[in-house]
């Protein structure tokens, strides 16, 4: 595409870094935050990397995200801690809590840090990659502002509450990063612009019929949870556990605020080294993945990839070729 | 229906108990196991209660389930323990590991027991009800024999690996008990017998097209994961974590055995009393559920219920009216 350019990873990160420093981030925090945005882009999650950066900057300028604030511990015992993110930058809060969960898991085998009053973490998978790189299995999730109706309901009272699970595998990891909505509005907008249909129904049209037409769903604002009634229940439970464990706001309370802030998140780390079968984990993973890949394709052309497999391919390609950035987005970022 | 009779809860349990004693279960184990089967039926999960009891008895007779064997600890540290179920009765192993996770959570805030070499636990929700009754939040899952193709794959290499999450609510609980397949074969067979269609696509026909016809899916043996590629990834990660954390078999290894045995399961308990916001948990749950229920119905007629809400209604009704049992199943059980 003509309006797409390729920017090297280091250049992208350094542009982010300079802007964040100008915004009042300390060097250390600017470095950490720039890395998250650059890594998300490198891994192909542009929606929560380079494309989202201008909005993040605006959130800092508007005081929704408070650059200086850091998470503080508010409660808990041994392997379970509660933290308050004090409306600091979501990615930084999430990184701190991920590291804290890892630290506690080293002592306890498993540990959970629940975080209240944080901001959008951008891409949940980032924290699973962070934890798996250190050798830990990891589960985390966040609640969000309401953006999806429950099964049987007309109006949106559920968040798409992404759920992430990861485990180290060879030099990389197997990382599932799934929002509970079947499609993100970002993905639907992209297809709508190209006049394309979704592969499976993604929501309702304005007459209340299920549809594969992204334009109709954007109009009705009624997207589908994965598995219909099942994802509806899963989204509710993820919200409940995030709000209760952290002592923070629920999707319903976040939605009352009108802006998506003061979110609740959960970070669970598991120390694989404490397992009696630690030496054979790679063997068991290899067996599982070999069997998974050995399935015959169904003829649809959908590749049989494990979660995270495409991420690593994209990461390698983008490291060599540079990260694809829309030239208008790039102009906008450079003017920040 | 003419071929359905109602059996009182106590009678059902006592019939189960007598049969299990005859099979060589100790009085205590027969009581515990009969309670699980009776409770599952009471709660309306007949497929994994009364209807499944004859198969469970057969499994004991065949030596797949070893009545006398008990789970033993094999590894772990502090809040994370590994146990071996030694092919004992699945429901008893799961109950022991649930209680053990609760015990460890009391000391650590959160705790995880991973169980290898166990048998079918019947209904995962049972253990969330067990834990929530004691005041704990709870997450558990199991792997299963392969019964579902991955997204893009023709042959079944994934299990439907039920995932359960629960939290106490008022005098009852909110309990999500979801298999990762959109529909169970049991549910599809029931509809197929009535010549009815599924509400949403549940799998593929023999030409590889998605279909709502349960008969076609039963023929092709190709059911759909919830959320298509998303549930496909979720199922894989649940299997991986269950096998790795327990040191037990993966879906792939269970499937090699031909019979569904030596499963791997994970039980995570969270001590809500250790949270600084413990006194206000019911208030926050009330707010969430009130908001959830306040949604306008979408006109489909699907009730906006939280997970577990229908279970409590059914439980109350069945306690008063007796548990509906197919008269042929009842005859079969009485002849055991």
Interface of A with B in 182-241 (CB under 8 A): 182, 199-201, 204, 208, 210, 226-231, 233-234, 236-241
Q: pLDDT tens track of chain A, all 336 residues?
A: 458 999 999 999 999 999 999 999 999 999 999 999 999 999 999 999 999 999 999 999 999 999 999 999 999 989 999 999 999 999 999 999 999 999 999 999 999 999 999 999 999 999 999 999 999 999 999 999 999 999 999 999 999 999 999 999 999 999 999 999 999 998 999 999 999 999 999 999 999 999 999 999 999 999 999 999 999 999 999 999 999 999 999 999 999 998 999 999 999 999 999 999 999 999 999 999 999 999 999 999 999 999 999 999 999 999 999 999 999 999 999 999
Judged by CB atoms closer than 8 Å, whether chains meet at A231 and B226 is answered as: yes
Judged by CB atoms closer than 8 Å, whether chains meet at A153 and B276 is answered as: no
pLDDT per position as a tens digit, B38-76: 999 999 999 999 999 999 999 999 999 999 999 999 999
User: How far, in Å, CA of A230 to CA of A234, rounded?
Assistant: 6
Look up B276 and say whether it is catalytic: no
Interface of A with B in 15-54 (CB under 8 A): none
Task: Give the pLDDT mean for B92-107.
Answer: 98
Per-residue model confidence (pLDDT) at position B258 = 83
| CA-closest candidate to residue A137, choices A258, A2, A333, A269 | A269
Per-residue model confidence (pLDDT) at position A2 = 58
Q: How far is B183 from chain A (nearest CA, A)?
A: 9
Q: Which of B109, B152, B271 sits opposite A298 (nearest CB)?
A: B152
Where do the H-state alpha helices sit in A50-158?
Answer: 53-61, 90-108, 125-133
Note the CATH number of domain B69-179+227-273: 3.30.1370.60
CA–CA–CA angle B180, A151, B238 (5° rounding): 20
Phi, psi of B226 (to 5 degrees): -60, 135
Q: How far is A252 from chain B (nearest CA, A)?
A: 6
Note the CATH number of domain A68-181+225-273: 3.30.1370.60
Q: What is the pTM of this model?
A: 0.98
The domains of chain B are located at: 8-62, 69-179+227-273, 182-224
Does the pLDDT of residue B166 top 90, yes or no? yes
**Interface size, chain A vs chain B, as Cβ–Cβ contacts under 8 Å:** 293
Interface of A with B in 157-176 (CB under 8 A): 157-158, 163, 165-167, 174, 176
In whole angstroms, how far apart are CA B111 and each of A140, A185, B103, B147, B268? 16, 37, 8, 30, 6
Judged by CB atoms closer than 8 Å, whether chains meet at B76 and A271 is answered as: no
Judged by CB atoms closer than 8 Å, whether chains meet at B76 and A296 is answered as: no
pLDDT per position as a tens digit, A226-247: 999 999 999 999 999 999 999 9
User: How far, in Å, CA of B302 to CA of B119, rounded?
Assistant: 35
Which CATH code of 3.30.420.40, 3.60.15.10, 1.10.1530.10, 3.30.1490.20 fits the domain covering B8-62? 1.10.1530.10
Does the pLDDT of residue B1 top 80, yes or no? no
Q: Which of A110, A157, A163 sits opposite B291 (nearest CB)?
A: A157
Per-residue model confidence (pLDDT) at position A258 = 83
**What is the fold, at CATH topology level, of the domain defined by B182-224?**
Wheat Germ Agglutinin (Isolectin 2); domain 1 (3.30.60)
What mean pLDDT is reported for chain B?
97
User: How far, in Å, CA of A67 to CA of A60, rounded?
Assistant: 7
Query: Exposed, middle or buried: residue A63 (CB in 10 Å: 0-12, 13-18, 19+)?
Result: exposed
Judged by CB atoms closer than 8 Å, whether chains meet at B272 and A244 is answered as: yes
Chain B CB contacts of A252 below 8 Å: 287-288, 291-292
Does the pLDDT of residue B2 top 70, yes or no? no
User: How far, in Å, CA of A236 to CA of B289, rounded?
Assistant: 9
Complex confidence, ipTM: 0.98
Chain A CB contacts of B247 below 8 Å: 275-277
Q: How far is A115 from chain B (nearest CA, A)?
A: 12
């Amino acid at each position: 595409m003509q309006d797409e350019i390729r920017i090297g990873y280091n250049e992208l990160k350094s542009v982010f870094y300079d802007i964040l420093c100008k915004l009042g981030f300390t060097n250390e925090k600017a470095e950490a935050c720039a890395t998250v945005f650059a890594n998300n882009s490198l891994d192909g999650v542009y929606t929560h990397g380079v494309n989202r950066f201008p909005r993040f900057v605006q959130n800092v300028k508007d005081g929704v995200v408070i650059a200086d604030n850091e998470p503080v511990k508010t409660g808990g015992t041994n392997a379970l801690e509660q933290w308050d993110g004090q409306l600091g930058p979501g990615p930084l809060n999430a990184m701190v809590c991920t590291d804290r969960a890892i630290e506690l898991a080293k002592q306890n085998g498993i540990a959970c840090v629940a975080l209240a009053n944080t901001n959008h973490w951008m891409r949940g998978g980032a924290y699973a990659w962070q934890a798996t790189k250190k050798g830990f299995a990891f589960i985390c999730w966040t609640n969000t502002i309401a953006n999806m109706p429950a099964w049987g309901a007309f109006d949106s009272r559920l968040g798409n509450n992404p759920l992430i699970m990861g485990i180290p595998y060879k030099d990389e990891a197997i990382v599932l990063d799934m929002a509970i909505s079947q499609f993100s509005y970002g993905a639907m907008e992209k297809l709508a612009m190209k006049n394309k249909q979704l592969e499976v129904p993604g929501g309702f049209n304005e007459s209340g019929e299920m549809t594969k037409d992204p334009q109709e769903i954007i109009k009705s604002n009624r997207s589908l949870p994965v598995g219909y009634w099942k994802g509806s229940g899963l989204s509710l439970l993820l919200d409940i556990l995030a709000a209760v464990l952290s002592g923070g706001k629920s999707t319903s309370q976040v939605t009352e605020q009108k802006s998506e802030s003061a979110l609740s998140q959960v970070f669970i780390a598991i120390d694989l080294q404490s397992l009696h079968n630690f030496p054979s984990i790679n063997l068991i993973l290899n067996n599982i993945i070999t069997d998974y890949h050995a399935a015959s394709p169904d003829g649809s052309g959908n590749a049989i990839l494990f979660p995270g497999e495409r991420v690593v391919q994209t990461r390698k390609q983008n490291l060599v070729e540079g990260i694809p950035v829309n030239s208008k987005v790039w102009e906008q970022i450079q003017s920040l």
